Each structure stands twice: as structure tokens, then as C-alpha cells.
Structure 1
Amino acid sequence: MLNPVNDLDMVNLNEYINASSLFIKEYFSNHEPFVDLIVTSPPYWDMKEYGDVKEQTGFGQEYEAYLADIRKIFEGVHHISKDSATMFVIVDTMKRDGKMVRLPDDIARELESIGWIHQDTIIWDKGKTLPWSRKGQMRNVFEYVLMFTKENSTIYKYYIDRIKTTEQLKEWWIDYPERYSPQGKVPDNIWEFYIPTQGSWGSKKKFGEEEFRHACPFPPEMMARLILLSTDENDVVFDPFAGTGVFLATAEKMNRRYLGFDTNPDYKKVFEVVTKQLIEEKWVEIDTYYKYQERLKTILEESIYKLRVLKYPKAVVKRLRNENKKNVDLVPNDFGLIIAIEKELPENEVVLKNKTTGKIDYYFVWNDSETLERARAQINNIVSKAPFTKYGLITNINVITIDGLIEFKHTLPTNLSLYSNGNTSDEHSKVELDKIILLLQSDGLESAFDKDVPPVISNISIKYSDYEMLPAEKYEKKGYSKENDQLKLILK
């Protein structure tokens, strides 16, 4: 058997090879594992002929023979994949003889028998596709994206922070910053990536309709997300059913090395002449999206950190008041002021996973010296439990009197930001510490209270204008609504 990879440059790669993936293991029998990511869509069983090529996997085969080919191909893929490799197999169900063929399940079983571990299933909402609707079947607009890793592997690459998004934030995220990851939201497992229509890339005049249609089986935006999720620059990506090579061309734009196999020489020509240029034209839009997301995530991370720091003491006060309503033996609520001072985080401090971590000194100014110790004990008990332990903050809690504040005011910053009337998400004004202390002594801070929540002053400044560009979905409560009442009246 002629080996098409004999002269392959394994350092630079970027090769599309016209050969059958059935013999991957034989082709690379003398190679160490080198593949980092596989994204592919196997030919569907007995469904489509992919050009005038003999002995195609799927077309004209018995189902068991088809699955045997799938098994052999992915044994070869397993052989050349690193232990840290990740694989995404895009596949769909189909109907034969009036019943459903659960192809994703059958392929998953074959892969698991080889040693691939099924980690996740993503639903790819394609938006538009062939109208395969018939009796007993709705119009099909999605496919399954099955994620696999190698057996016993805990080192597979999965950079979820890279594909987190600022989209899907609810409008009340500002009030509950502790509930949101500072790096953004993890995408859900339904991905909306529509197949490009002819002319959407401005290429209708340059290429024929048939070429364009075959050049875009996968949206490059979805390929870019998978590449970001599971590879680093200069990693090797592989597609054993490369087709017209959207995955390969996208990987090349992202500074990954690619290798593709396909038996159809016409697809390789389309890849070289059509697909690469289409991806080149599309890339500015894709690259701009991810750069913009990174900018938004930087704003989100900084904003969530500041909002958490400033909400924390307000939430402590509210918890204390609620506890005191239930137990008359607890100390009365007699706050005058809260001070939140950000400190430098020690270099050896462990940063908590998926949380912004900061070091904050809090000063709760307590007006009643007789109940000071009881207040201090109660507040320290409150902050030792959830949700305060989940804010991702290293805190130093001080419950002091006004006289105590005056004693060491020289250790605090002099110019601070004021947050009044219970609003800790939008700075009210800049203030001087000495003036605040004078107002505190003369009860001049009463106008800054809201429902007995004392004003907060801090060396942390945040204004609504700092984060207003972050998108937020309007929250709509699901369930019964006034519209249901109106409909009921109409139908009555």
C-alpha cells in the first residue's frame, strides 16, 4: 500500500491529503501521537454519495459494515492523538424503513469500545437546513456535537474561560454580582451557528453556487469556538473527513497546524480555491467578535469585583437586621458608617478558581459602645458563613466606634468615594474622610441612609457609565401572565 504520509513535514504540517482514513493507523504506524484536536462529521450511512469515489464509508454499505468502518477509522484517530487530545464528532439521527436510526448513539458506542470517553453532548442549532420533514418527523434543524477525550485522561485541554461570554447576563446581574463569574457566562449546550447562505460572504459573483454550497458545511464561527476551547497556538488539528475544509482553513487563521484526509480530490480543490478565500473574507468579522468579547469580559471582571466589594458590607448589615428581628436578645442595630478599603493582594495568595479575589479591610462604625463586643461577635459569625464566604474576597472585619475610627484615621486614605441611600453600584460623589467624620459626629449623615443601611465610603470607585455597555437580557418571569388572562377572555 502506497503511504501518502511518507514525505509529510511533521513540523509544519498544514496538509490536505487525498486518502482514505480507514488506514490512518497503518499510515502513522511509526509516529508518536501528535494530534491535539479532532473535529469531524463522518459520512452518514447509506445517505449521500460524496463524489465519484469507490468504496466510500457509508454510501451503499450495510449498516454493520458502516459501523465497522467507523470503528476502524477512529481507532486510527485514537492512535495518533495525544493523551491531552479532545475530539468533537458532529452527527445526526436519520430515518430508514419508517423508524429512527440513532446514529449518534451507535457511533458513540463504537468510539467508547475503542477507548474514547464521551464527555458532553452539544446541540448545534443550524437554523436552516434541508426540509427533511415527513409523517412522524418534524423539520430537522439541529445536529449533535459529541465531545470525547481519551481514556483515563484528566489532562485534556478545555479552556472554558476563553469562550465565556458577556451575553445572557440578566438585567439584575448588577444587584447580584456574587452570582456571576467574573470571566462571563459559560455557554449553554445549545449553540446557534447558522450555516452561511450563498452571498452572505459577498462571494456570489466569484464562485459558482454549487462550489459555495459545498464550501460551507460548517460555520467557521463554530469551528473557531471549538479551536479556542481545546487548543493552543501551534497545536495540531485533524479532520479525517475533511470535505471542503472549513475547519482546516479556520485553524490555519488561528495559527494552528492542520491535517485533513478525504477521498474526494474535488473537495481538496474547493478547499484550496474556494474555502480558504471565504474564510479569509470572514475572518475579520470572527476576530473582531472575539476581541470585542475580551474587552467586555475585562470590563465585566473589574465591575463584578468592585460590585462585590461594595455590596458585601451592605448585605452584612441587612443580614444582621433580619436576625435581630427574629431574636430580641441580639444587639440593636446602630450603624453609623461603613468603610471598605482595598488592600494589595499578597503575591503568594492563592487566587480562587472562577472568582475575582481581593483583600479588603472593612470598618463597621458602631455607635453604641456598650454593645460593641456583642455586635462584633455577631458580625464575625455572619461573615463566616455562606453567602459571604462565596464572594471570593479575603476580608479583615473591624467593628469600631467613632472614637476608634478617629484614633487610626491617619492609616486610611483621605479621598474616598461615597455610596449613599443603599446604592453601591454607582458612586454618588468624592468625599474627604475628615469631613465624613465631622458629619458622623453631628448626625449629618442621616440623609445618606436608605432603610437604615448606612452610607459606604471606599477607595474603590465605580460608576454606572463604567459598565453600561455590558449587554443584559430583560428578565421575564415564565408562567402565567396577564396575556394568558386576555387570551382566556377571547376564547371564552
Structure 2
Amino acid sequence: MSQSLRERIQEQGSTMILGDSTNLRQLLESEYDAEEVEGAVDVTITSPPYADRKIYEAAREDQIGIDEPYNEYLSNLKRVFEDVYQVTNDTGTLWVVVNTFKEDHRMVDLPGDIIDICNGANTPSYCPKCETQGLTVPVESSADGSRKYCPNCNAPLGGDGWLLQDIVVWDKKRALPYSSKGSFRNVFEYVLCFSKTKTFEFNLDKIRNPNLEDLKEWWVNYPERYHPRGKLPDNIWSMVTPSQGAFADTSVDHPAPFPPRLVERILDLTTKTDDVVLDPFAGSGMVCAQAKAMGRHAIGVELSEAYLERYSKLETEIAEKWATRLENNKVLQKKQKEFTRAISGLRQIRFCRELIRSLGKNYDLPVGKLGVEGILHDSTAIGDPTANPQAFIEMEVELLCDEHNLPEPLAAFSETVHTVMNEKPCNSFGIDSNVNLTPVEGDRVTLKASQLFNDRKEKQRGYLYTGGAHNQYKDQAPLIELVATIEEHRDSRNVFPPIISTVGVDIPQPGNVCLECGEYTYSVEYSSEDIPEMKVPLSQ
């Protein structure tokens, strides 16, 4: 029974292949004895040879760009990226690390040219209609680049191609200490990110930055504006080029080596365990080594026997380094989890406050005149904000209402409450909330009046918020005690009703450091016994 290329790769594992990537598809078919090669690859990470700018450890006549015109060099690259397109699945991506260079005192825009050839990666190079008449007519682009056509018969020839999604600037931090006339010292390269279709794997949440020092100071007051995993990464990546020679920490020996962290980041964004990774210009094999260390199946195609001979040593070194990187990733995941808990706590208490404020606006009344004597809040679940960003928090809210002071009868007021909670700003917190109204009588609210907390254990902690505060509770005590004395905690100015919650948020405004330790510290506690431990998916 024949197997697909993907099945063969996953069965045989990672490998470096000696061969010419200009015949990539043919090479993979023969190497793996596979009949079906389409859709085998999840991501390709590569850097093509820079025309004749760099000489690699392979026969000169075999290297793309050496001793050949620039247009022929681009045609060869196009053949490679066409084959990569064919073997990539529909959710796959292509990442090309490339830079400009100078030729005859003129800047050559190689990144732009690669974008052009990738955009037409599935467009034929020659008109198939004219070929049937014995003519070889190269396909041309219109002046604005919007269509491909045959200049002989004018047949439209636009096929599918790679879709450019973004351009990342890789800040290498380190480069040669000299440059040619008319150039600055070159410390960056472009990373072109293409997708095969409009629906592609791209999980930014895996690499979000939860460090508070990198956030604007408004995250405490407006938690709904900040992603629960942290700050969105930007498109400038600062990663040091691997050292070589006497100062090297790996055995890599290559004119243009990738840093392992660059490969790691792309794999985190675009793949999961057991996915297939390709590098058609493998060089030292850094992409393959890092992919294998992370539990992916990698294929590297390389012309140089010397690089292939040294690869096994690099693979071992990267595997050892990955063990250390895994520990660092666990720290990141822990920080993301802590930040999610903090943002979730802030959002829940702020939701309660904004619900009352929005009701006041709806009735054109001060919030203290709405007839709401208190708010009881219980956090019941915190889910995965990536999987369900619109409702990853589940909670229960109970409004204790004095029927004699409500702006309209209880049933009508309840309808208004549910209308308001499904409008902005209340519907922007990522919360699935069940809000109930309980009428209370007399001057004091008793625990019996509460439908939400009347079955709680005697010692379960509760947290009291007054004066409309949402980021720091005023007091903590057993829920029973707080609910029994809720009337005592009403704002003296009759502004905001007190909130009693099972979430204890103690997050000072940014810049307010702890007097004892001199650092900015915060805490968020969840006392509900039924709330499940929040799951932050580990890097796969």
C-alpha cells in the first residue's frame, strides 16, 4: 500500500538530504518513495543563497546564483518556491530570511524580487497555449503587476501563489564591523512571511509578552483592552547571530547561520508536535536541528556534503540547549498564566462596576439611586482566552435590590439589566455572566436573602470592594460575615453599592511600589472551591 510523503516523513523522522532543491519535488518523491507529495509540509523556513554574494561549501557549478545572470538566478528560486508551494498543506506558511545587496554600486532589492516570484509561485513560466503550437513564450506581468499574461496570445495566466502576510525585521544585534561606500553597517535582515491560503496556522498567543514593565500604565484601569496572555509581539525581532570560531557556543560553521531562537519562534507560531518542517537551502542544518529538538519532523535539502557531515554534531548541541530553553519557556508560561488570572480578576470586578454605571446612564440616575443595595459576585471558571476570547470567563452575579427604590418594577428592571449587560461596555470583557436579581427587605441584608452564597461553607473567604473600586479590595473576611454586614459598607456618599466577591484583587496602580520591598507587586486570589485551575496550553 502506497504512503503519502507526509506519512513517510512522520514514520522515518527528521533527515538531511544531499541534493539540489531546484528539483525539490522530484527529490522528495524519490527519497521517500512517495506517490503523493501534495500537502506534506506545515512550514518552510529557509534563506536562499544571495546570488553570487556568498560562496558555500559545495561545487561552484551546482550553486544557485553563481556564474549565472540575475534573472536566471530568480528563475531557479521560482522553481524552488513553486515546488515548496505544491508540497505545503493549505494551512501552511513559508518564511524566507533575505536581504538586499549591492551590485555595481546599485542596491538590488532581492526581498522585493522574491515577493514577486512567490506571488506567482503557481503561475507557469511559459504560456501553455503557445507551447502546443511549438512556441516558447515567457509569461509577463502587467505594468501594475496585477495580472500575468502571454504577450503573444494575450491569454491570462494568473495562478495561485504565496500570499505575503507580513515582513519581520530581524535585528541581528551583531554584524561585521565594516561596510562598503554608501552603506551603513548592516545589522538586520528581512523575514518574509507567506501563507498558502487565507486560512493559515499563526498562533500569536503562544509568544505574547506578559511582562508588566512592557505594558502601558492603563492595563489596571482598562483590563478589557489588554489581551489576557500579554502584549502582542511586534515585527522587529532582536536575536543575536550565532558566534563562530573561537567564541562559538555551537559547532555551526556557515556564512549566514540562523539563531536557534528565530527558528523556535516561527515554529511556535506555526506548528505543533509531529508537524513537518522543510528547509530547501538547509546549510548547517539549524532549522532541522531546532525542529527535531522541538518534536517536529524536519527535512533539510543541502548541496554541501561538508555541511551534512557536520550536522549530527549540531543536532546534538541544539538538543542540549533546548533542554535549557524549555525551562525558560515554562517561566514564560507561568507568567502568562499569572497575567491571565490578574486580567481576569480585574475584568470581573470592573464588569460589576460598569454594569451599575451603565444602568445609571440608562435611567439618567446617580448609581446610588438605582435601588441596588449590594452586588454579590462569584467567579466560576476561567478558560482558554485563545479558544474563546469572547467568553473565556464564567461568573455569577446577584444584584440585591430594594424593590421600593427601583426605577421601575423588578421584572422590567431585570429586563433592562440583561439588555445593558449585553451592550458595550459590558459585553467587551470576555465574560459569560449569569446575572440574577434578588429583592431584599428591611434595613439589613441577611445571608438568607442571598441566593448565590447561601450554601457556602462557613470559612470561605470573601472580598469587599467599596466606592466603585475594582483593582483593590478594602477588606477580606468569611463570606457569611461580609454579606451579613453589607449595609454597613455602603458608600457614605451613596455612590456605588458595595461588591462582595470570591475574587480578591489587590493590584495597585502602576508606579505604586511596595514600601517594604521597594518593588511593584500584586496578588489575585480566587476563593471559589469549584473554580477549575486555569489551563494555559504548553508550547507544543
- Say if 2:318 is the partner of 1:279: yes
Aligned equivalents of 2:278, 2:58: Cα separation in 1: 24
Task: Give yes or no for contact 1:366–1:372 (8 Å, CA) kept in 2.
Answer: no
Instruction: Find the counterpart in structure 2 of residue 477 from structure 1.
Output: none
Instruction: Find the counterpart in structure 2 of residue 177 from structure 1.
Output: 223
- Cα distance, 1:133 vs structure 2: 4.0
Give the counterpart of 1:163 among 204, 207, 225: 207
Range moving further from structure 2, 367-376 or 380-389: 367-376
Give 1 or 2: higher helix fraction.
1
- Cα distance, 1:108 vs structure 2: 1.2
Q: What's the CA shift string for 1:391-427, capped at 9, x where partnerless?
A: 1212233455542965632552454222234443344
Distance 1:251 1:69, change over 3 A: same
- Cα distance, 1:85 vs structure 2: 2.2
- Say if 2:294 is the partner of 1:294: no
Written as runs of structure 1 = structure 2, the 5 A alignment for 1:340-355 is 340-343=377-380, 352-353=388-389
Q: Provide the identity percentage.
A: 28
Range moving further from structure 2, 308-317 or 157-166: 157-166
Letter aligned with residue 106 of structure 1: D
Instruction: Find the counterpart in structure 2 of residue 454 from structure 1.
Output: 497
Distance 1:265 1:462, change over 3 A: same
Instruction: Find the counterpart in structure 1 of residue 423 from structure 2.
Output: 385
Distance 1:196 1:127, change over 3 A: same
Aligned equivalents of 2:323, 2:494: Cα separation in 1: 51
Q: TM-score, normalised by structure 2?
A: 0.73
Aligned equivalents of 2:242, 2:335: Cα separation in 1: 26
Task: Give yes or no for contact 1:214–1:244 (8 Å, CA) kept in 2.
Answer: yes
Q: What's the CA shift string for 1:54-94, capped at 9, x where partnerless?
A: 32112332110110110111222223222332211111112
Aligned equivalents of 2:486, 2:376: Cα separation in 1: 13
Distance 1:133 1:452, change over 3 A: farther
Unaligned runs of 5+ in 1: 473-492
Task: Give yes or no for contact 2:239–2:262 (8 Å, CA) kept in 1.
Answer: yes
- Say if 2:184 is the partner of 1:138: yes
Distance 1:344 1:133, change over 3 A: closer
Instruction: Find the counterpart in structure 2 of residue 480 from structure 1.
Output: none
Task: Give yes or no for contact 1:420–1:449 (8 Å, CA) kept in 2.
Answer: no
Distance 1:235 1:394, change over 3 A: closer
Letter aligned with residue 197 of structure 1: S
Distance 1:403 1:358, change over 3 A: same
Distance 1:205 1:79, change over 3 A: closer
Describe the SS at the equivalent of 2:173: coil
RMSD after superposition: 3.6
Give the counterpart of 1:42 among 31, 39, 48: 48
Written as runs of structure 1 = structure 2, the 5 A alignment for 1:285-364 is 285-320=324-359, 332=369, 335-343=372-380, 352-353=388-389, 356-363=392-399
Distance 1:132 1:91, change over 3 A: farther
Describe the SS at the equivalent of 1:461: strand
Instruction: Find the counterpart in structure 2 of residue 197 from structure 1.
Output: 243
- Cα distance, 1:113 vs structure 2: 0.8
- Cα distance, 1:319 vs structure 2: 4.3
Distance 1:157 1:138, change over 3 A: same
Written as runs of structure 1 = structure 2, the 5 A alignment for 1:88-107 is 88-107=95-114
How many residue pairs match? The answer is 447
- Cα distance, 1:47 vs structure 2: 0.7
Distance 1:426 1:134, change over 3 A: same
- Cα distance, 1:368 vs structure 2: 5.6
Instruction: Find the counterpart in structure 2 of residue 258 from structure 1.
Output: 298
Aligned equivalents of 1:111, 1:23: Cα separation in 2: 17
Give the counterpart of 1:270 among 290, 310, 318: 310
Aligned equivalents of 1:461, 1:28: Cα separation in 2: 58
Task: Give yes or no for contact 2:356–2:367 (8 Å, CA) kept in 1.
Answer: no
Letter aligned with residue 22 of structure 2: L
Q: TM-score, normalised by structure 1?
A: 0.79
Q: What's the CA shift string for 1:214-257, capped at 9, x where partnerless?
A: 38711111111111221221222111111111111111111111
Aligned equivalents of 1:144, 1:457: Cα separation in 2: 53
Letter aligned with residue 497 of structure 2: P
Instruction: Find the counterpart in structure 2 of residue 225 from structure 1.
Output: 265
Describe the SS at the equivalent of 1:214: coil
Task: Give yes or no for contact 1:94–1:100 (8 Å, CA) kept in 2.
Answer: yes
Letter aligned with residue 95 of structure 1: K
Task: Give yes or no for contact 2:375–2:497 (8 Å, CA) kept in 1.
Answer: yes
Unaligned runs of 5+ in 2: 30-34, 122-160, 521-540
Letter aligned with residue 44 of structure 1: Y
Task: Give yes or no for contact 1:224–1:251 (8 Å, CA) kept in 2.
Answer: yes
Give the counterpart of 2:278 among 229, 238, 242: 238
- Say if 2:165 is the partner of 1:119: yes
Q: What's the CA shift string for 1:331-386, capped at 9, x where partnerless?
A: 9456542221335799xxx9733652313223154586253548666655543321
Distance 1:383 1:206, change over 3 A: closer
